[in-house]
Amino acid sequence: MKSILLPLFFGSFSLITSSQVQIRTLPLPGYEERIIEFIDELTIIDTHEHLLNPIKIQQNSSLDFMLLLHHYSSGDIESAGMSSKIFQMLLKDSLPPLEKWRILKPFWEGSFNTAYNRVALLTAQKLFGVNDINESTVSDLSDKIKKAYQTDWFNKVLIDKCKIEYLIQDDWDHNRTFENERFKYVDRFDNFISISSKQMINAIEKQENIKIETIDEFVQALEKAFNTAMKNGIVGVKTGLAYSRILHYENVNKERAQKVFEELMNSSGGKKLSFAEVKPFQDYMMHRVLDLARQHNLPLVIHTGLLAGNGNIIENTNPIHLVNLFKEYPDVNFILYHGSFPYGSELTTLAKNNRNVYIDMCWLYVISPSYSERYLHEWIETVPASKIMAFGGDYNNIENVYGHLLFAKQIISKVLIAKVKDGYLNESEAKNIARMILHDNAEKLYKLPSKL
């Protein structure tokens, strides 16, 4: 079967970055097509998603062309000038598609170039046969989306189109959306760390149905929540605290943390302590989460690099801030998300020099295809291939997961073909790396059953 990636790929093959180092004998003719087809047929382990149940999508959106724009595209469209309020209205309002387009058009025309928006175009083309998103196509595209959702569309795309064997879902709200063996979950305990007021402690007390008056009782509440998550079969622990604070967590002693806890408990009303005041307690609690991850032999998955939305402090997300944790917890595996964009070189050094640091390229291809290509070249040259995971869609909807996967396959193919072309790898080695980074590494790291 001819790969869907072939026409997508060869138009830009001349732009491939070359390693310019020959170790292997140069390949036999046809290796490009063979590598592309091999990658296109691989079973995938998708390492990171926020997928909404399709029933919820039907209930909360008008199921039109805006479905393809409702996640990351929204950030670039808003960056181009559209207000968030108007964009959210377009997602849910019952206006005809053409009327929505007329409101959206000037902002789409200001941002159509970004990878977030290009993946929407590719998704429209490859899933719905619509070659552009404009005033002449949005009605037809919307009709096709509505018709698709009258079928078993979600599973068709997930299983038949994407060939996803397992998918790691971020259970950030502790409300599992999918209960089947294909979905595996990572859970967050950030609410036990990001404490800044007594009200937040009271909320945890209510959540866990446990009396909290001392720091020991607070840690017991964390342990209770963690044990519940273990019983529910989590495969990892996730933290997204880069959105709210710097990633440096000092190893604070209990006495210092207890002083902050007492200040929190003695604060009145809804008063919040400043970050500088509460940081020692937050740092202490991150180490307690790491204690539990170590005890249960679970990896810690960390958001590093780019933050979705506007107004965030990117310096906080540099993975260099985490070095002390890698050293203090040598038996905990740390998975650093999103290729740490824009800190790719820092990530290279950390993954190369720390046995317990892994690279995850989830979200990365739709942030910047060229960054993804550049650093995948570099990581293959510098980091053990067993420590790279190459795909996580990081989307709310399955349609854009598919479009993102097409991006990923194109880029992975380009990089590996370049390595074979130059003789850095032979064809067999390139295929082996593709299988490792798209399937085997995640299967091993998350301890997934080898077959569904």
3-state per-residue secondary structure call for 365-427: HHHCHHHHHHHHHHHHHHCCHHHEECCCCCCCCHHHHHHHHHHHHHHHHHHHHHHHHCCCCCH
Residue 374: C-alpha distances to residues 43, 362, 432 (Å): 24, 15, 20
Q: Domain 163-445's class?
A: alpha beta
Q: What is the pLDDT of residue 4?
A: 64
Q: What is the pLDDT of residue 129?
A: 98
135-150 in b/e form (b: 16+ CB < 10 A) is: eebbeebbebbeebbe
Instruction: Measure the CA–CA gap between 49 and 185, rounded to whole angstroms.
Output: 10
Q: What is the pLDDT of residue 162?
A: 98
Cα 209 from chain centroid? 32
Q: What is the pLDDT of residue 25?
A: 87
- The model carries a pTM of 0.94
Q: What is the pLDDT of residue 146?
A: 95
Closest CA to 48 of 251, 335, 262, 243: 335
Q: What is the pLDDT of residue 14?
A: 45
Q: What is the pLDDT of residue 13?
A: 47
Mean pLDDT of residues grouped by 10 in the chain (452 residues)? 58 52 89 98 97 88 91 94 94 92 97 98 98 97 96 96 97 81 96 96 95 97 97 97 97 97 89 96 98 98 92 91 98 98 98 98 98 98 98 97 98 98 97 98 96 68
